[in-house]
């Protein structure tokens, strides 16, 4: 009887200590604030409430961020107001990110691509141009091929998904482990410590001075809201990938690839594969930038994007 009691106490301690630590981390993370100017809106999607920001007048332009751990529409903070001078700009927090809901779902790339599709149809309600970064760009490509009438022109920033990588079996095993209530939260918190996030951000930016305390604090806060581990864990295990190489060849819309020569995760050489599949795609290489040139070199990025988006009718790629 005493042995059983001791085992029960040890088991409770082993489970309770991590649970307590997880609760303390969540409590200390703080509450995120509205990151962008303009009007804030809420889209009641099938799987949860999605937050978005709207600003400006003119033809619609949708911004889709990369759904990294702690990622959100805040990624566009340096270009959002300037773009709103020429467009009605929508910047969406993907489900599981930013100020959007974080339901306990098996998050996947196709799920988030469906969100982009439905947002264009239900909220924007007319053909729009779009800018997407990283996996956000891959989601736009898949939507543009599936429903070409929704998207007029695309600006794709260091798109992820031109090459398929990873093991589906390993990704599923990792996802199941991350979904476990205490174990999953503990593993996720270990992978998203403040120091770990700072190191990850240092690989995102070319200039280490861009990794400011504000950037680290905002990323940490967003990464540790209740339910963050579901989308965040899916990202860390490759579950949010959305292959776009084959779909890219079927695009009919004008498209511009903005690639950072110094981006580590998406080498500029990957652009050659996409241009081979879609020779009419325009490519702009930005120097001394990492994965988010719209943050590190916002002025140059704006010049490139606005020129492309505001050109007179330039026809369709397949024409």
Q: What is the pLDDT of residues 82-106, one digit of tens each?
A: 999 999 999 999 999 999 999 999 9
Comparing 190-199, 220-229, 263-272, 274-283, which segment has the lowest mean pLDDT? Answer: 263-272
Interstrand relation of 128-133 and 60-64 (parallel, antiparallel or unpaired): parallel
Out of 99-113, 225-239, 262-276, the most confident range is: 99-113
Give which of 291, 285, 290, 289 is closest to 304, Cα–Cα.
Answer: 285
* Model pTM score: 0.86
| pLDDT at position 182 | 63
What does 198-259 look like in DSSP terms, one character per residue? HHHHHHH-SSGGGS-HHHHHHHHHHHTSTTHHHHHHHHHTTTT----HHHHHT--S-EEEEE
Mean pLDDT in residue range 128-145: 97
Overall size of the chain counted in residues:
319
Q: Are 87 and 58 in contact (CB under 8 A)?
A: yes
Q: Are 128 and 148 in contact (CB under 8 A)?
A: no
What does 97-129 look like in DSSP terms, one character per residue? STTS---S----HHHHHHHHHHHIIIII-S-EE
| pLDDT at position 173 | 53
List all residues 6 or more positions away from 121 whose beta carbon is below 8 Å from its beta carbon.
Answer: 147, 150
CATH fold for the domain made of 34-164+242-309? Rossmann fold (3.40.50)
Structural domain spans, the chain: 34-164+242-309
Q: What is the pLDDT of residues 141-185, one digit of tens each?
A: 999 999 999 999 999 999 986 444 444 545 555 565 666 666 677
Out of 8-17, 108-117, 169-178, the most confident range is: 108-117
Half-sphere exposure (CA, 13 Å, Cβ side) for 305? 30
| pLDDT at position 34 | 72
| pLDDT at position 311 | 85
Alpha-helical segments (H) within the chain: 2-29, 80-83, 109-119, 135-146, 168-179, 181-191, 194-204, 213-223, 228-236, 245-249, 270-277, 293-296, 298-309
């Amino acid at each position: 009887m005493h042995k059983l009691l001791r085992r029960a106490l040890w088991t409770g301690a082993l489970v309770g200590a991590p649970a307590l630590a997880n609760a303390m981390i969540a409590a200390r993370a703080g509450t995120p604030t509205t990151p962008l100017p303009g009007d804030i809106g809420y889209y009641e999607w099938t799987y949860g409430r999605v937050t978005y920001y709207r600003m400006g007048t003119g033809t619609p332009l949708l911004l889709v961020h990369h759904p990294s751990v702690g990622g959100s529409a805040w990624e566009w903070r340096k270009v959002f107001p300037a773009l709103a001078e020429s467009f009605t700009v929508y910047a969406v927090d993907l489900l599981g990110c930013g100020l959007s809901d974080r339901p306990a779902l098996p998050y996947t790339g196709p799920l988030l691509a469906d969100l982009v599709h439905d947002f264009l149809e239900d909220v924007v309600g007319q053909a729009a141009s779009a800018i997407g970064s990283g996996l956000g760009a891959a989601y736009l490509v898949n939507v543009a091929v599936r429903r070409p009438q929704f998207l007029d022109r695309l600006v794709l920033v260091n798109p992820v998904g031109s090459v398929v990588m990873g093991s589906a079996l390993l990704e599923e095993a990792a996802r199941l482990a991350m979904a476990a209530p205490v174990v999953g939260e503990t593993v996720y918190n270990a992978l998203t410590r403040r120091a770990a996030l700072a190191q990850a951000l240092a690989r995102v930016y070319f200039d280490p001075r861009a990794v400011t305390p504000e950037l680290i604090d905002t990323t940490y806060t967003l990464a540790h809201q209740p339910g963050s581990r579901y989308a965040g864990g899916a990202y860390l295990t490759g579950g949010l990938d959305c292959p776009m190489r084959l779909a890219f060849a079927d695009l009919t819309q004008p498209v511009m690839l903005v690639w950072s020569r110094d981006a580590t995760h998406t080498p500029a050489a990957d652009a050659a594969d996409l241009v081979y599949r879609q020779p009419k795609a325009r490519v702009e290489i930005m120097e001394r930038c990492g994965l988010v040139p719209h943050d590190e070199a916002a002025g140059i990025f704006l010049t490139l994007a606005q020129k492309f988006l505001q050109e007179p009718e330039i026809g369709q790629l397949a024409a």
